[in-house]
Amino acid sequence: MRRLRLLFAGAAVPLMATLLLVQPARADDPTQLIQDELRVAHAADGTPQTVVTSRVVNAAGQVLSTTQETINNPRFRTEDSMTFPCLSEGNRAGFVAHERREALHKTHNDMAQFLFFPYSVDKARRDTAGGSFEKQWLICGTGGADANNGSRTVMAGPGVAFRDSNATYRIGQTWKEGRTPASYSVNLGFEVPTDVVNIKAGITQTPTASLRGSPRPPWNSDLDAFSRNGANGWWEDSCAPNCAGTGGSSNYQGSLVEALWQFPQDKPVTEDDFAMTGFFMHRCSNPFGCR
């Protein structure tokens, strides 16, 4: 499996909790790429937010500029659960569907949107060594990006990681690999002895190029520190990493991923302990720029 590895220069930019009035990173050269990371966040009052970190990189993978902004998301309206991109099938005592999260960034040229659906089950298993109960968390992520006005998508997909670099809690993960079908799904679910709960994710897009995945992010990111507890799935154009001319897609492209973690029953775990991120790499195919 080939992963795009780009060099990251300088220290990681810390996440900001307030709105930054900055211009988004812009590539003025058609050979340059913009790497956007859309991180799920929320304000102190609970307002859902997206923290967008944008890096412009050249053909050699060197970071030319970095910007960051925090955007307040619109709240989800109440919907029937059957309309969700990630569906739970079956039930079990202790099964909890937590509040879904969104990472969203819309500009004049591009719209990137990623949805994350956390689920948990208490007392899913007994530890074989000590006999104590253990709980499980499953997060399903799906989404992608649509480019416009000369902008073209080179890579797009969701990623999830439990924020711990010292201990491994991930016990399962799934993503799609290979040529892009018009529509597809993956199914992971909880590993429990009885009353199985399956979580099924689906997505529809224009068939082109390929789908990939890895515990590591698609490019050098600070989330790589949590790769032992991470899962990422993305669509990637065949032009990457050296795109020129009309390389990239002007259609909606994305992917989906699911991961399962297991923790001691008495370990405090919430949705905020997971990094939920959308990865979106794009470029401007117009030599006069994409404004």
pLDDT above 70: residue 162: yes
What are the extents of the domains in the chain? 33-74+83-284
pLDDT of residue 77: 61
Of the candidates 98, 35, 108, 45, the residue with the CA atom closest to the CA atom of residue 72: 45
pLDDT of residue 81: 45
SS3 226: helix
pLDDT tens digit sequence for 15-61: 433 333 345 556 657 678 999 999 999 999 999 999 999 999 887 77
Of the candidates 2, 5, 46, the residue with the CA atom closest to the CA atom of residue 281: 5
For residue 222, report the phi and psi dihedrals to the nearest 5 degrees.
Answer: -65, -15
CA dist., res. 54 & res. 60, Å (int): 17
Whole-structure pTM over 0.75, yes or no? yes
pLDDT tens digit sequence for 258-281: 999 999 999 999 999 999 999 999
pLDDT above 90: residue 1: no
CA dist., res. 67 & res. 35, Å (int): 11
